[in-house]
Amino acid sequence: MDFDAVLAGSPGAAPLPGMEDAWRWSPNPMFTFTASVTTDRAHLLQVNVRGAYDEGLVRDLLGFARERGGEFAGSGTQLTLLEGFAHGESPFDAVGVAAPKVHGYHEKEHPGLAAVTYAVFPAYRCEISGRETEEEAWGRFVKMLQPTRLDRSPVPFVKMRYDNTKTRSHSKGSERGFALESTLVRELGLLEGAEGSFIEWENRHGEVQRAEWVDGSSWLTVGAERQPVTVGELQELGHVTVAG
């Protein structure tokens, strides 16, 4: 594909200073798009920013992803985490990459370009497992991670299911679904006194833990080991297990 011809023709497109084969354009005052071609010129890497734009950070995100393109291009992975990223005082410690079917960039105006474009965004290593299905990756990328913001806070990978007999709150179905860390910590706090209740959660490493309130006490189960813990300890554990 002739990326130069396609992108240079975008309204207001201009070369990105300090990076070859890269362009920046703004479809409206709210968004700024920046893209670069991979070293093998087979794919496009694109960072979409909503609101405040930091050219240095965006250029470093694209450069980092371009250097490690072999880790995600054509791999079939829907969300890829590239660890080891750093930019000045930025809190982001990783770069996230979303596959074409996940992000939907260029889908309507340039379907051919959409098929070879990877969305690049600033990330935290606690957010992505790399095992996400296409549906899960879409949900994370579109609804939870806010990938177009350069000033966002971490959204840790948390999958959970629960049933609280006291509040009558519960998850749907028998499978763990994505949730916010705050939801996990809140539900762990509400476990106290809810006889027969449980919470089961999974972090990005695939580690699963289960908390229960049985016979007037809270219990934690990890693998085959079951031990008594306080609700306060459970809340802290919930935070720790999804933070790294």
Q: What is the pLDDT of residue 87?
A: 97
Domain boundaries, the chain: 3-144, 159-241
State the pLDDT at residue 109. Answer: 85
**What is the chain's pLDDT, residue by residue, as a tens digit (244 residues)?**
788 778 777 878 899 999 999 999 998 889 999 999 999 999 999 999 999 999 999 999 999 999 999 999 989 999 999 999 999 999 999 999 999 999 999 998 889 999 999 999 999 999 999 999 999 999 999 999 999 999 999 999 999 999 999 999 999 999 999 999 999 999 999 999 999 999 999 999 999 999 999 999 999 999 889 999 999 999 999 999 999 8
Residue position matching structure tokens 């705050």:
182
Q: How far apart are CA 53 and CA 74, in angstroms?
A: 29
Q: Dig out the tokens for 110 from the structure.
A: 């340039």
Looking at residue 6, what is its pLDDT? Answer: 81
In the numeric block, which tokens belong to residue 49? 């920013």
Task: Reduce the secondary structure of the chain to three states and give it as a string.
Answer: CCHHHHHHCCCCCEECCCCCCEEEEEEECCEEEEEEECCCCCCEEEEEEECCCCHHHHHHHHHHHHHCHHHCCCCCCCEEEEECCCCCCCCCCEEEEECHHHHCCCCCCCHHHHCCEEEEEEECCCCCCCCCCHHHHHHHHHHHCCCCCCCCCCCCCCEEEEECCCCCCECCCCCCEECCHHHHHHHHHCCCCCCCEEEEEECCCCCEEEEEEECCEEEEEECCEEEECCHHHHHHHHHHHCCC
Query: CA 137, CA 145: separation in Å to the nearest integer?
Result: 10
